[in-house]
Amino acid sequence: MKLIRNGTFVEDDFITVGDGDQLPDGAAIVSLERWQAERETLRARNAPIGVRLQSGQEPGAIADDLDRIDLVALEFPVYRNGRAYSYARLLRERYGFKGEVRAVGNVLRDQFQFMIRCGFDALEVTDNITPEIWAENAGSFSLFYQPSADGKETVLSLRQRLAARAQEKATA
Amino acid sequence: MYRYDEFDQQLVNERVAQFRGQVGRRLSGELTEDEFKPLRLMNGVYLQLHAYMLRIAVPYGTLSSKQLRMLAHVGRKYDRGYGHFTTRQNLQFNWPALKDMPDLLAELASVEMHAIQTSGNCIRNVTSDQYAGAAKNEIEDPRIVSEIIRQWSTFHPEFSFLPRKFKIAVSGTPDDRAAIRVHDIGIQIVQNGKGEIGYEIYVGGGLGRTPMIGKKIAGFVPKEDLLAYLEAVMRVYNMYGRRDNIYKARIKILVHEIGVEEMTRQVEAEFAELRKAGALHLPQEEVARIEAYFRPPSHENLPDDSAELNKAVLADRGFANWVKSNVAQHKVPGYAIVNISLKPIGGVPGDCTSDQMDAVADIAEKYSFDELRVTHEQNLTLAHVRKKDLHAVYELLKAHDLATPNIGLITDQIACPGLDYCALANARSIPLAQQISERFADIERQHEIGELKINTSGCINACGHHHVGHIGILGVDKKGVEYYQVTLGGAADEKTAIGDIVGRAFTEDEVVDAIETIVTTYIGVRQNGERFIDTYRRVGIDPFKESLYETH
């Protein structure tokens, strides 16, 4: 697997640990179950911490801890399961989460742009994805009808600016 | 009608470029069919029994003459000279080659058309009333809000991988021609006590294996909040809709399992948050911009009565029948709505040749302000024809075998493609519809029987909407033999109902006789010329059961 963070291929500095495994000294990602069971210890830990949510585990479950959490990994068990798109938007738009939101699991190249739009800033992708494939698919579309977590200007807003400019010209 | 601005056009162009890349990767072998599947399914390309099928979106069923001519051209150049209009007001081509599809889509893009979201588990083409802008009791033209929804739902990043496909329909009149209560979301345009226009929202309607009638979850959503409300419904569905079983994945199952009160509560809670966030607030200027495209065309000032029409009706019996069944009242004096039947006797419901498309495009240009509509009953509509032109329009249609006077009658059937095309089907639908059509070919008899809708599906997925046919026919497979199960009393209008199963299924040889028996029974018990559906609602299923099964 490769990790793309903010459009750049990087080494993963987080280690995903199993529920029974010993925590490493550095940055670690734990399951929601482990987070809930060891919440106090994990909160007090002196290293970055991430929580991995499976499909069906809503971000509301960690909403009160987002101040301490550095990364939320959202799982796509299969590309067809689009629940995590809603989870990502909720994390960004409802809970104001500023840390990393990482897409893990079955992530297809044709979904990159949808994921970015919903607030994912990191994607775990298969090894065959190259920077060229990333660039091509992350920018398939340059215009957007919907407001979303990436804050991109919408077509509606572009229309309003055009209309305002036309009006200015007319009155000038 | 709506015209793309530079932004709408650029998006469609970018989609063509993206799909060209995807098809190229499939043709070069870089993608396997399995890997290509999710990509083609985002763009209306299905793999059928014999070939790929391409479904082209006709947003809310509205077409310009220019667009219809392009469809005729595409049919000639890339297919076998015809296309098939569907129950989602779309057009399907059954035989294009995959390698041609990018060019085909580029040609369509040049007339503001595309195949975006005509398949896949996303928000599909929004459907609406074919009489939009012409119906007498219309509160507001439903195409305005349909276009707003089309834009919002196009490439929605959050809702492109839903548990299952998602269908929205809009009606602008109290009598419902858009079947809104059998949609995932049905929108009824309403006016409140203060004269403001808003939306009544139904969720969880649908056909398929588990037919359900939509439940009302909002009585009045203000115009500026509609998109926030729809996004709330979609988010609840995307988060909680079932993904463990494809047959339980539609929103109707979620609504059924948690109950309409709980569904309403969750949607309201999400709606409150989205409304507060404000990003989806719909500004008045944008509504006005889109509204302007749907202003009524410049109708002439005419007397309502037309001497030319009256004279022709008396002189031409065939024309008189056509006027009776195919012509509907218009809100403007001196005008009429013309329905073009795509159900000739013995034909394939919804099929239309390229030559017929060109002919209809010419007629629409000359007689109906250059635009037309596709209906969810697989016919076409010219919404604004002067009454004095009706006979001329009739003659032109007749010359192209498009003047069958059977709209709403027993041979105006809805049928899915069935086993002749579809990989899912258990039984043939089209040949059965053709047999029924031949049996009741006598037009005088059809008029004598009156309004009667027969819908046929070749399998339980119900693409032929059999549950809501006055008479519904469902193809089932019993140990390799095709059987047909018959339901009675279904309806998709403002009194939506799911039909009742009449009894054991019929063989292919029996089923047309069974329909005949049902019709004869109806004629025997009907009172004061009431419609079949009204008779059924009055007398129930028993008289039909008795006459169908007593002699067997």
User: What would the pLDDT profile of A65-91 be if each residue is shown by its tens digit?
Assistant: 999 999 999 999 999 999 999 999 999
Q: Determine the pLDDT at residue B420.
A: 85
Q: Which residues contact B100 (CB under 8 A, 6 or more apart)?
A: B78
Q: Determine the pLDDT at residue B37.
A: 87
Within 8 A of B157 by CB-CB distance, chain A residues are 85, 113-115, 117-118, 144, 146, 148
Q: Determine the pLDDT at residue B423.
A: 83
B387 lies in some domain: yes
How buried is residue B300: exposed, middle or buried, by Cβ count under 10 Å (0-12/13-18/19+)? exposed
Question: Mean pLDDT for chain B?
Answer: 95
The CATH code of the domain that includes B347 is 3.90.480.20
Shared-domain flag, residues B370 and B444: no
B345 lies in some domain: yes
B114 lies in some domain: no
Shared-domain flag, residues B316 and B341: yes
Shared-domain flag, residues B164 and B224: yes
The shortest CB-CB distance from A148 to any of B7, B21, B157 is to B157
Shared-domain flag, residues B273 and B312: no
Q: Residue written as tokens 């601005």?
A: B5
Task: For residue A114, give how far its alpha carbon lies from the nearest alpha carbon of chain B (Å).
Answer: 4
User: What would the pLDDT profile of A31-67 be if each residue is shown by its tens digit?
Assistant: 999 999 999 999 999 999 999 999 999 999 999 999 9
Shared-domain flag, residues B487 and B375: no
Residue B465 Ramachandran class (φ > 0 left, ψ -120 to 50 alpha, else beta): left
Of B244, B270, B293, which closes a domain?
Answer: B293
Q: Determine the pLDDT at residue B551.
A: 59
Within 8 A of B233 by CB-CB distance, chain A residues are none
Q: Determine the pLDDT at residue A133.
A: 94
Q: Determine the pLDDT at residue B320.
A: 97
A94 in B contact zone (CB under 8 Å):
yes
Shared-domain flag, residues B145 and B257: yes
Q: Determine the pLDDT at residue A3.
A: 98
Shared-domain flag, residues B165 and B273: yes
B118 lies in some domain: no
**Cα distances (angstroms) measured from residue A13 to each of A50, A107, B56:** 11, 20, 46
Shared-domain flag, residues B138 and B259: yes
B115 lies in some domain: no
ipTM greater than cut 0.85: yes
User: What would the pLDDT profile of B326-340 be if each residue is shown by its tens digit?
Assistant: 999 999 999 999 999
Shared-domain flag, residues B320 and B220: no
Closest CA to A31 of A64, A82, A72: A72
Per-domain boundaries in chain A: 2-141, 144-172
B1 lies in some domain: no
Tell me how far apart the alpha carbons of residues B547 and B552 are, in angstroms, rounded to a whole number. Answer: 10
The CATH code of the domain that includes B478 is 3.30.413.10
Minimal Cα distance from B9: which residue of A? A143
User: What would the pLDDT profile of B113-168 be if each residue is shown by its tens digit?
Assistant: 999 999 999 999 999 999 999 999 999 999 999 999 999 999 999 999 999 999 99
Instruction: Indicate if the pLDDT at residue B104 is higher than 70.
Output: yes
Whether residue B10 and residue A136 make contact (CB cut-off 8 A), yes or no, is: no
User: What would the pLDDT profile of B495-547 be if each residue is shown by its tens digit?
Assistant: 999 999 999 999 999 999 999 999 999 999 999 999 999 999 999 999 999 99
Statement: the pTM of the whole predicted model exceeds 0.90 = yes
pLDDT-derived band of residue B192, with 50, 70 and 90 as boundaries? very high
User: What would the pLDDT profile of B369-409 be if each residue is shown by its tens digit?
Assistant: 999 999 999 999 999 999 999 999 999 999 999 999 999 99
Q: Which residues contact A73 (CB under 8 A, 6 or more apart)?
A: A16, A29, A50, A51, A52, A53, A102, A103, A104
Whether residue A159 and residue B14 make contact (CB cut-off 8 A), yes or no, is: no
User: What would the pLDDT profile of B45-75 be if each residue is shown by its tens digit?
Assistant: 988 777 789 999 999 999 999 999 999 999 9
Strand (E) positions, B168-286? 168-171, 185-191, 197-203, 215-222
B124 lies in some domain: no
CA angle B522, B525, B528 (to 5 degrees): 100
Residue B91 parent element (H or E): strand B91-93
Q: Which residues contact B455 (CB under 8 A, 6 or more apart)?
A: B413, B414, B415, B464, B465, B466, B467, B468, B469, B471, B472, B473, B490
Q: Determine the pLDDT at residue B403.
A: 97
Superfamily of domain A2-141, CATH level 4 = Aldolase class I (3.20.20.70)
Over residues B17-22, the mean pLDDT reads: 93
Instruction: Indicate if the pLDDT at residue B552 is higher than 60.
Output: no
Within 8 A of A115 by CB-CB distance, chain B residues are 157
Shared-domain flag, residues B140 and B196: yes
Name the phi and psi angles at A92, rounded to 5: -75, -50
**Domain count within chain B:** 4
Shared-domain flag, residues B364 and B246: no
Residue A135 Ramachandran class (φ > 0 left, ψ -120 to 50 alpha, else beta): alpha
Provide the residue range defining the domain that includes B85: 6-109
Shared-domain flag, residues B350 and B422: no
Over residues B195-217, the mean pLDDT reads: 96
The one-character DSSP state at B297 is P
User: What would the pLDDT profile of A3-37 be if each residue is shown by its tens digit?
Assistant: 999 999 999 999 999 999 999 999 999 999 999 99
User: What would the pLDDT profile of A133-164 be if each residue is shown by its tens digit?
Assistant: 999 999 999 999 999 999 999 999 999 999 99
